[in-house]
Structure formats: C-alpha cells, structure tokens
Amino acid sequence: MTNPSRILVTGGAGFIGSALIRYIVGNTKDQIANLDSLTYAGNLDSLERASASNRYRFYHVDICHGQALDRVFSEFRPTAVMHLAAESHVDRSIDGPAAFIQTNIVGTYTLLEAAKRYWVRLPDLDKQAFRFHHISTDEVYGDLEGVDDLFTETTPYAPSSPYSASKASSDHLVRAWHRTYGLPVLVTNCSNNYGPFHFPEKLIPHVILNALHGKPIPVYGDGSQIRDWLYVEDHARALCRVLEAGTIGETYNIGGHNEKRNLEVVETICSLLEEMAPDKPEGVVRYRDLITFVTDRPGHDTRYAIDASKMQHELGWAPEETFESGIRKTVSWYLNNREWWHRVLNGDYKLGRLGESASVQETKGEES
C-alpha cells in the first residue's frame, strides 16, 4: 500500500473498529472515513481524540443501504475498505437472529457490491492497489476437541450459534467475490478481543463493572470454557500489517497466544480489583464471592485456540501483550475512565451522537 492511504472503516464506532481508527490516526498519515450506523454498541465517545484529527471523517450510514454506500465511495474514494461492521453478541443472536442475518450477511453482500461497482471503474493502477479487508472471528470454526488442537487458516467451518453462522456466511461471500469477480480481498479471523472501550455487555467489562457495583458476576456452566484472548491494540496492529503486506485472496488467523478458562479470567479480574480497588461496595468482603454460576448458554463451544504462526512467519507480527499485562491495563483503564462507562450504562452516550464536528457527515440514504 502506498502512503498515505484512504481507508474506509465500517463499524468504526464499535470496540475493535474504534481501536483500529485510534491506531491509524495515531501511527500513520492515512485518511480515515468511519462508516457506522450507530446501533446500541456504536459509541462515538470512543473516538473523541481521533475525531479531532483533520484526517478523520464520519458517515452515519447502514451497510445495508447500497445507494448511500455508493455516495460514500464516490465522495471519499478509498484505497482500501476494512470491514468490521457486524452484530457480534452471541446471546443476542440466540434471542434474535434476524438482525445478525441482516447486518452480517445482507450487509456484507451490499457492501461487496458497492465496493465492486467502485473498484471496476478505477484506473488500472488504483484498481491494482485497492484492497477489501474483511475482519471476522475464530467462532466460524466451531469447537476444538483435543487439548492441543488449534484453528488454522484451513480448519473447516462448523459454526455453532446464529452469530458465528452469519459471520461464516459473510466470510464465504467475501471469498466468492474474489473468486468470481476478482475483487482483491483479504480475510482475517481473530480470537476473543479485550481492552479499553469494550462495550459492557461483553465478559471482561461485565465482570469488572458488576464487581465494582457489588452485583453478582455470572459465569456460564462451570466456567471451564477456554478462549484465546487478544489485546485489542495488538489486533489493530495486526490488521494494519495485513492490509499493508497481506497476499490478496489469503486468510490470516490473529490470536493472542493466551488460552484461559472463563473462570480463570473472572478470578484474575477479581484478584486485580482486590489490589487496585480495595474499597469495595457495601456488603462485599471479597470480589470473588460475587461469582455466580448460571445455566450454560445453548450450543456453547468449549474451546477456541488460534494458530497465528502464519501472521508471524509471513508478516512478522506477534502480540506484544501477555494476558497478564493486558488484563492489568484493562482493569486499570476501567477504574480510571468511569465517565466513559457511566455514559454507556445510563444511555447518555446515545445523546448528541453526531455532534457539531465538521468531520461528521450524515448520509442516511434509503434504498428506493
């Protein structure tokens, strides 16, 4: 990729998307357009510093609206798309799968078509430089049986939840648009992310905030499910590395090399809070006493673990954070940024979302 690039990030107000934008603004000279429909998990508060840059702009657009996408492509003229817009909460997908089908499958199809319409009209050199980078999840691979097994880029897909099935579908669409139409794509599948600005419904922030409020800390089943944890800023670095040097048509697995049982994650957070927030809510003697085992999630996968050796050998990337260093940074961030999560919990983050910034551009075009 030649610098500076013009990168269109979909879902840039989400957890991983906002981390990616903060990284790009802080570490490159690239122009960034953030395209986000601002569903409940979209939070522009997470982009306060990035939005002050004259290299950043925001489009309030749903990826299911093809005409609006065409206008964004025409106006911003991206050299790359980094597609992160997705519904991503497994429990929500079980209770209401329709939104996941619409956004993750129909939305990805609509975005691919808009990108193809734009790409085919580019001059030859720009056409060769263009990239469509699709960011996905390791959950598309399903469950691992053996304790030493790892997901590789060739592991067969076996999704278990409506969420992971919808992401698997989107992965297949992206590869089909490459195979059939020649669209220059890159696909990455990542393990569980964690870190600052994580929406409170997800495990790690949910544990931290429930503990600070003296509320029960729910753990599914016996807490033996194993996940590979990836610090979100390490993920942002990896995504930029793939966009810069990845081979067209290839898939890259991005993992943190940090397998932990869910119960171990929860207990680690409780121990850190004992050290870092010793003034407990009334009636709480030990944070770990708040741990409450609840009925397991339907279709809950037991173990995920990624082999990220391709990223290391071919692109020279490896995570900088261990789980121990990353989780300490994360707990510290939530303790020191109470205003951010208070605004999420009370709903204030939804107010004045588009603000008065000149970098904000609202484009809501509906399909005719």
Residues acting as catalytic residues:
138-139, 163
Beta strands in 185-233 (DSSP E): 185-190, 192-194, 217-220, 226-231
Q: What residue type is assigned to position 10 of the chain?
A: T
Cα of first residue to Cα of last residue in the chain, in angstroms, is: 36
CB contact burial 287-316 (16+ within 10 A = b; e otherwise): bbebbeeeeeeeeebebbbbbbebbeeebe
Residue with structure tokens 């030859």? Answer: 124
Q: Which of 57, 117, 84 lies closest to 242 in space, CA to CA?
A: 84
CA angle 212, 233, 156 (to 5 degrees): 100
Query: Is the CB of residue 48 less than 8 Å from the CB of residue 23?
Result: no
